[in-house]
Structure formats: structure tokens, C-alpha cells
Amino acid sequence: MKLLPVSLAALAAASLATPALADDYGAQTEQAAGQYPMTPEGAASWVAMVEKDLFDYSVHASQIYWVNATYITHDTDALAAKVGAEGTEKSVNYALEAAKYAEIDGLDPEVARKLDILRNGIVLPAPTADGAATELNQIATSLNSQYGKGKGTLNGKEISGSDIEAEMGNLERTPAELAEMWASWHTNVGAPMKDDYARMVEIANEGAKELGFDNVGTMWRSGYDMPPEEFSDELERMWQEVAPLYHSLHTYVRTKLNEKYGDDIQPATGPIRADLLGNMWAQEWGNIYPLVAPEGSGDLGYDIGDLLTAQGKDPMDMVKIGEGFYSSLGFKPLPETFWERSMFTKPADREVVCHASAWDVDNKDDIRIKMCIKVNADDFVTIHHELGHNYYQRAYNQQPYLYLNGANDGFHEAIGDFIALSITPEYLVQIGLLDRADVPSADKDIGLLLRQAMDKVAFLPFGLLVDKWRWGVFDGSITPADYNTAWHDLKREYQGITPPVERPADAFDPGAKYHIPGNTPYTRYFLARILQFQFYKAACDQAGWEGPLHRCSFYGNKEVGEKLNAMLEMGASKPWPDALEAFTGSREMSGKAMMEYFAPLKEWLDKQNAGKPSGW
């Protein structure tokens, strides 16, 4: 689970400096100045020392985090908290020092790149002023706690976050019930956080300035091998490439909701009511697919879970099938330790974290997955996805410690998702799970593509606007008085949705989305959605696939595997355009491949939408 290198991952979770920072920092700075002078040579020696320290720490920390995730007790929780605090303090101290060394003229380019990685490794930096780290830590802890304890209501009765999320996708619920759940969750969870959030922004911006950035938003956008302003423009360009597809989907779904609920609930024009889309944040619409499914094309004619069961496959067999996909591309088999140390099913004797994740414990080849696998289609796809992370981790294991990561923070998720896209009927035939006679006919394609689009395409504007809002908050263009208005303005502008009830200007609806109080940057998810289709098209082109892109299989193609590995083994050692070019031949992230993948759906949607008003 090397989210970043693990010391920086621990930081991403904790987000800020420990209270001990102010006391320790002065002494450590003095010591560093003596051993590692402010010269190019001193900077190189300091970076080498830091990499060695973080490498050793990360192995120890990963072992503790693994035990905690697969054996949850009071004691393993305490061990994980302790090692997390240690990692946070290391990362903060090293980031502050890196900011100083980065100012030296004549730095070796490799050293300069590593200093930037260290400087950008902090999600929410605390300034060194007395008490600032403690206050920031307290606020962040409080925000997380408030979210975790959050409750909404359903028919006047309290309902927990996980339950309310499930109920928002329950098609049996009335519009009044959906509106109640939406409004109660946003009011109860978000509003109490507002003052704390504003204070947190104020403190963190001071910390960002000490690291040499104008504000936290600039710091977040500085990790993409281009000026922050240029990166913002790149995101907008990618959005404009895929926006026509989203607009067509929006028009079609709005029409279907209007047919179901009538003009009083969902008008045939304008924005869509946010609570009618099957998700609290209207970020993925898959839960309402039954309401919009094309007549007669929704059933594929097979279920992967049934195919697996019919052949007597168990969870371990499913992982072996996943490994076989990568082996067919020429990747080496997974090490024996993978099979010995991974957690494939839920143990009967203890509490574990079942959420699927891929781990790199020793920065070499102790790679593992942690899942509670069930024999069904979702877990079959997830296995292929998680193994994508593992093969990426192993591919770059020869890189220095600070390069043990994806080329940018969208790459890792995109690799897993791109592999998951490859589970097409043709692939299932090739591995002997599906008879060729049972391959769905072309008339099923629209249903399949629409089902995918309801999640992958519907997500795009939300994936973009979350950080657009935060960047405005961090640079001061969105003030606390305008937090809520600006949030809903962005949601209307990009998503074309509107709240089910009027929202007060002093509310704090952004806080009702975990990643806001949790301080998790969100742009990576937008990038991953774009990149996965770009990777997929590149693989299909290399394999000489000639049919519709969404039916492509490159199973067994060693040339694809060779080019993919060339990108993966670079890790974070080069600017991401270099890595992208190694596999796709392009130095530009682009939504064009996604548009090609969904082209048959776009054509079909436009026919369904003929004569209907579009936009909002």
C-alpha cells in the first residue's frame, strides 16, 4: 500500500505536522547545517541521507500497517498511530529542509527533482510558529471525527453515513425521502465544520508559504511537472474534450427522470435535482441505471460470477486468473511470498479491513493484496485492478526511494482501471470462462456502455470541481462567506445539478463530502478517469485491434506488455509526459480516447435526445 512512499503516505493520512515539530525542528536544522552545507554537494548528500532514512522507516511502517489492517485490535491501532506520527514528523521536517536546499544554485537535476518531491509531499503543512502545528492537528482530527460521527435522517429517524449512502441508491425511496436524506446529511455534517475549516485553511496557507508556495492550492498543483497555472489550464482542456459526452448523458438522464417523476419534481429542462441521481454527491449515477436502461439491451446474457461458479472457481483461482492476464503480456509470475502473505478472504477469527488494497511492503518484491474476495463479477474486476498496482510497484522497484511511485498521482489508479477495462467478452472467451457462442451481440453494446458511462462519465465534472473549489478557497478568491454559494455554483456550472431544497448561504455543504474534511486532494481521480482510456486505446492499437474499442482484448500480446513495462518501470523518476510517451506515444493527457470508447453511445444518446433541449 505504497500510496506515496509510505512515509509520505502516512503524512497524507495525517496531513500535517505533529505538535513536537516546533521543538525538534530547530535542533535538527542546526545539525543538518553542520553535516550538509547549503551547497550542491551538501544538498546531494542530504537527499541521500533522507532517502536511506525514509526507505528503512517505510519498511518498518508498512509491516505495522499491514498487521493493523489484517488484525485490528486496540494494540495494533496504537502501533499504527505511533508509526504514523513518526512518519508525519519526518516528512514535515524533511519538507522544510528541502525547501531551503531547493533555493541553491547549480543543483544536480536529479537532486532538484527529489527536493521537489519532498517539498510537495505534505498535503496540509503546518507553519513552524509555536502552537500552530498543535492547533492544525486538533482541527484536522476534529473535522475527521465530525465526519465519521455524522448522521442524517430518514423519515425523521437518525441514519448513519454508510446507511444513508446505500439508501440514496434505493430506487424504492420517494423524492421526499431522498430530499430529506440529502438535506439532513449536508446540514448536520457540513455546517458545524465551517469555522474550523476556515481556520485550518488560514494556518495551512502559512505553512505553504514557509515551503515557498503562495498557498496550499498552488502547492498541490506544483506536483505535475509544469507551472501550477498551466496545470489548471490542462485540466480545463481535458474537460472540454469530454464535456460533449457528459452533456449528452445529462440530457438523456434528465429526460428519463422527468418521465418518472414529472415536471414538479424534475423539470424537462435546466439542472437535474441532485438527490435523484442515486448518490449523495451525484458523482456516480450507476445506482439509477435501471431507470435509464435501454429497452431490451440491459441484459448481457451472462454473469461473470455465475461463470466462475459453474467452473468451480474459488477466490484463489480468481487471483490466479488475474495473474495469468499479466503473465500473458510477458510479466514475471508473482513471487511465492505474494501467495504466502496476501489476505485473500475474510478470516473467521478476527476483525480486518476488507477494503481492497495493493501493498508493497519492502520496496522490492514483497507485494501483496488485501481483500475479502467473494466469487462474483465485482471482485473479479477488482482483483485485476489491484494486481495492476502490484505489477506497477514491482516494475519500478529499481528506482531510488523517492521515485517509488506513479508518474503523477493519477497514474496508479489509471493503471488498475485500464486493466479492469480489459475484461471484455473477448478476454473471457480467451481464458475459457465464456463460450464464443455466448458472446453478447452488438445490440447489447449500448446497455453495456451506458452502464459504464453512468459511473465513469458522470464522475468527470465532480472529479474536476472539488479541487477547483478548494483552490479558490486556498487562494482567497472564495471567502468563508461564499463557501456554500461558490460550491453550488461550480456544481451547477460543471455538473448541471441543483440541490433539492434551497440552501442557506452560511451552510457548508462541501464538508458533507469526506475528501473535504479529510483533506484528500481530488484531481488525481479526474486524471485517472481520463488516463485509463488513453492507456487502453494505446494497448489496443499496439495489439492491432480492429473492432470497436470497447470490445478490444490485448490478452497474450507481449509487445503491449513490453511497452507497458517501459512506462511502469520509470516510476516517478521522469516527468510524467516522458512516462506517458513511453507507452502511448503522446506527451499529452487527453480525453479523446474516452470519446472514441463511448462513440457508439454518444451517437445513440444524440438520437434519443433529438428535439429535446440540452444544457442547463
* Residue 117: partners with Cβ closer than 8 Å, 6 or more residues away: 223, 402, 403, 572
d(CA 518, CA 15): 9
d(CA 113, CA 61): 25
The alpha carbons of the chain give a radius of gyration, in whole angstroms, of 24
d(CA 50, CA 615): 52
Catalytic residues: 386, 515
Give me the sign of the Cα torsion angle 409, 403, 112, 119.
positive
Determine if residue 479 is left, alpha or beta; phi over 0 gives left, psi from -120 to 50 gives alpha, anything else beta: beta
272-273 and 497-498: which strand pairing? Answer: parallel
C-alpha cell at 410: 493519477
Task: Print the SS3 string covering 192-203.
Answer: HHHHHHHHHHHH
d(CA 390, CA 386): 7
d(CA 532, CA 459): 14
Residue showing cell 531547493? 102
Q: C-alpha dihedral over 414, 417, 422, 428, to 10 degrees?
A: 160
Interior CA angle at 79 toward 78 and 83, to 5°? 120
Residue showing cell 547549503? 38
Task: Measure Cα distances from 123 to 2, 55, 91, 428, 591 in Å.
Answer: 16, 20, 11, 41, 27
Contact 542, 563 (CB under 8 A): yes
Residue showing cell 420517494? 174
CA 423 to chain CA centroid, Å, is 21
Neighbouring CB atoms inside 10 A of 596's CB total 17
One-letter identity of residue 517: P
C-alpha cell at 553: 482484448
